[in-house]
Structure 1
Amino acid sequence: MPTETSSSPDAASGEMPAATLANWRTPPFSRWAFQHVDELIATERIANAVDDFWPLRTALRSFDDFRVRAQGGETLDFAGFLEATATDALVIVHDGAIVCEHYANGMTAQTPHIIMSASKSITGLVAGILAERGTLNLDAEVTTLLPEIAATAYRGATLRQMLDMRTGIVLDLDATRDYAAAAGWDALAPDQPPSDLKSFYQRLAIKPQPHGGSFRYTSANTDLLGWAIERASGRRFAQLVSELIWQPLGAEQPASVTLDRGGLARATGGFSMTARDFARIGQMMLDGGARDGRAIVPRTWVDDLWQHGDRAAWHTGEWQKLFPYRSMSYRGGWYVVDDEPRMMFAMGIHGQNLFVDPAHRLVIAKLSSQGAAVDNAAWAVTHRALPELRRSLIA
């Protein structure tokens, strides 16, 4: 069973203290911890189909001519870009073939790595599949599935509004602290009793605000959605991910998702997987939700992501300033860029990214251990690298 301390090779040799729940998201501990989450936090396995994985061709390309400007103005080559953005793994797929595969900080092709809030994008795909099957009504209010929270600020919020980050939920400092404690990712303070997410939602005491307005990023929405998905389906969240996505995808390795102290999956940020399987998710999305022509995610759901995000809600939302010159939306857990070249991406703190560029048949899966949860310089150079990567491949 996971404990609050764990021994990395460095810790075992006495070179540095062990990673713990108090430090696992800060360097240098994070470089090891992001690849060994199940040794720190309780997780549930997401099984793959061991006799049916999706092979990806390999056609490695050189990026010797790649150049990108760093935030300080200096020019970085490819190796410099990887180092500047604390890259642990990078898999680039072009025209269905792996053209670049890079690992650092002890990672290999078989090593799982936490993808943080890029998990929201996969949770959105689960919701889309269940909605297509009639198991989940996205227009229903969440309290119809979870009457336990009917007296909280979530009253009146629909599952769709939670998926699209358009609820009126704003956690104050006390609620933010309680949410972090309930999620099981942090060491408890001496005055904090053990908690779990279901208890947190039932006790949530914040001022109700109108739902359905501008984009407002609230991670608690997606954890609550995970609970609603379990209630609607009668199944464990990890089992659903395995059966609906991971096995039909042909994932090469099992994945996992962290659990809170009560056993509820952290649908908002707890997935760990290999870089190759992260890239397979991107290739599936590039191919309209299919693997080799076999539908996994309904094509109608993928088309909805591209076409029906509310651009006005994004434009008036809190993150528009990050992309001031882009026409964008957030739909079903995915960021969608409407400007050419159109792009869809999943994103998580500490530098987790999955980019899907259909026009150039390009998928980029990047796993990182950036020191800050939100490193604006690393984020900016990563996005500036995208046109350079396209140019290098097309040239």
Structure 2
Amino acid sequence: MSPDPSPASANLSNWRTVPYSRRAFHNIRAILPVADIESAPGSAWPLPARPIGFDDFALKLPNGSKLDLQGFLKATATDGLIVLHDGRIAFEFYDGGLDRETPHILMSATKSITGLMAGILADRGELDIEAEVTTYVPEIAATAYRGATIRQLLDMRTGVVLDAAGLQAYADASGWEPLAPGTSADLHSFYETMRAQAKPHGGPFAYVSANTDLLGWVVERATGRSFASLIGTLLWKPLGASGETYITVDAKSAPRCTGGFCATLRDFARLGQLVLSNGRRDSNQIIPEGWIADIRHNGDAEAWREGQWRDSFAAISKNMHYRSGWYVINDAPQLLFAMGIHGQNLFVDSVNNLVIAKVSSWAQPVEPQSIWLTHKAVAEFARCIAEIAPA
């Protein structure tokens, strides 16, 4: 283990900057208000070990050099990584003070979890995915979200455009950074009073984190229950998550459904295994199988091609879509993945029966080189396993 690079205390003003972030990302409870999510340590989904050495792991870089596995982990500021093959742990790694019992913030990979929760509620008849947002939250009827549907929130296809002032107001409302003395802000008030402009809803993919926090309000309003309670009861306990889990909340306890989920690396991997298993654990269908199939097959590829991140991901794939909070690469083998800033990822490769969970503390929120390396590593893990895994 490398020494803690952050000897000074992380706090609200510095927790997302180096050198404080590496400590902060697995000590969120000490920095931000949170709501606990119930897990099921007595009925954990077993993850038996079947270690693979990955001695031949090699990432070829554009300059002709190569990174071995340890080089990749260091180059992408990895705090923890698990590779599951056939539901067994082929490789597990921790660094920077993280261990298997400690939750790490998942940043925008939280959106993928929120998307799964929406599918569960839709199947239960508690949430109409095609309904307009105002059906559940009429308070936003005078804002740019008027006319947007729940489906458009899920798929990042609202026409809402936040300018610099709007982005700052949203950041203030999240509770993730200090406010000026004597001021207050919260997410619900932000949505009720926002002055953002809007393009037509249902257009190209446009990444607006506020969409998913609003979805959290919709979920709570539709069910009359807290998001944390719903996740624990309907997803986290049934899948056999066993570790400490929580989600950050704002000043009035609204959940940060776009980025505040904190979980252990093993539980993050268990979630990936559930998706790989088409939403089923043993005989229990936790996530509707049709919802997983919808994520895999029903995203709008044209919305991606015309959208905001087409060029950013071109070096990884030009054949993608985004559906219900999940990114899908439609090259062979198809790859589903959840992604958060500073290097949080969950990859699901059903062709190779492979799940990879990775949490990190990149210095920058978005690092194109690290994203590229991480995707290359997924393919390299699959190659190595295909060559050396026991039959």
Matches within 5 A, 1:326-345: 326-345=318-337
How many matched pairs? 383
* Partner Cα distance (1:186, 1:193) in 2: 13
1:309 aligns with 2:299: yes
1:122 aligns with 2:113: yes
Shift of 1:50: 2.9
Tell me how large the CA RMSD over aligned residues is. 1.4
Give 1:113's match in structure 2, choosing from 96, 104, 110.
Answer: 104
Shift of 1:73: 4.8
1:298 aligns with 2:288: yes
Confirm or deny: 8 A CA contact 2:4 2:96 kept in the other structure: no
| Partner secondary structure for residue 90 of structure 1 | strand
Runs of 4+ in 1 over 2 A off after TM superposition: 69-74, 322-326
Residue in structure 1 matched with residue 149 of structure 2 by the alignment: 158
Confirm or deny: 8 A CA contact 1:229 1:237 kept in the other structure: yes
Residue in structure 1 matched with residue 59 of structure 2 by the alignment: 68
Structure 2 segments unaligned to the other structure (5+ residues):
none
- 1:231 partner amino acid: R
Residues 189-244 of structure 1: CA deviation (Å, up to 9, x unaligned): 45x71100000001101223210000000000000000000000000000000001
| Partner secondary structure for residue 232 of structure 1 | helix
Confirm or deny: 8 A CA contact 2:42 2:242 kept in the other structure: no
Give 2:385's match in structure 1, choosing from 386, 389, 393.
Answer: 393
* Partner Cα distance (1:51, 1:180) in 2: 38
Residues 340-389 of structure 1: CA deviation (Å, up to 9, x unaligned): 01010000000000000000000000000011000111111111112211
* Partner Cα distance (1:77, 1:51) in 2: 38
Residue in structure 2 matched with residue 178 of structure 1 by the alignment: 169
Residue in structure 2 matched with residue 354 of structure 1 by the alignment: 346
Residues 104-145 of structure 1: CA deviation (Å, up to 9, x unaligned): 011111111000000000000110010111100011110111
Shift of 1:150: 0.5
* Partner Cα distance (1:203, 1:92) in 2: 45
Confirm or deny: 8 A CA contact 1:71 1:377 kept in the other structure: no
* Partner Cα distance (1:376, 1:327) in 2: 18
Matches within 5 A, 1:1-395: 16-70=7-61, 73-190=64-181, 193-324=183-314, 325-395=317-387
* Partner Cα distance (2:283, 2:351) in 1: 18
* Partner Cα distance (2:199, 2:68) in 1: 48
Length-normalised TM-score, structure 1: 0.95
Length-normalised TM-score, structure 2: 0.95
* Partner Cα distance (2:191, 2:349) in 1: 37
The sequence identity of aligned pairs, in percent, is 51
| Partner secondary structure for residue 55 of structure 2 | coil
Structure 1 segments unaligned to the other structure (5+ residues):
1-8
Q: Which moved more, 1:267-276 or 1:16-25?
A: 16-25
Shift of 1:18: 1.7
Confirm or deny: 8 A CA contact 1:289 1:302 kept in the other structure: yes
* Partner Cα distance (2:242, 2:128) in 1: 32
Shift of 1:188: 1.6
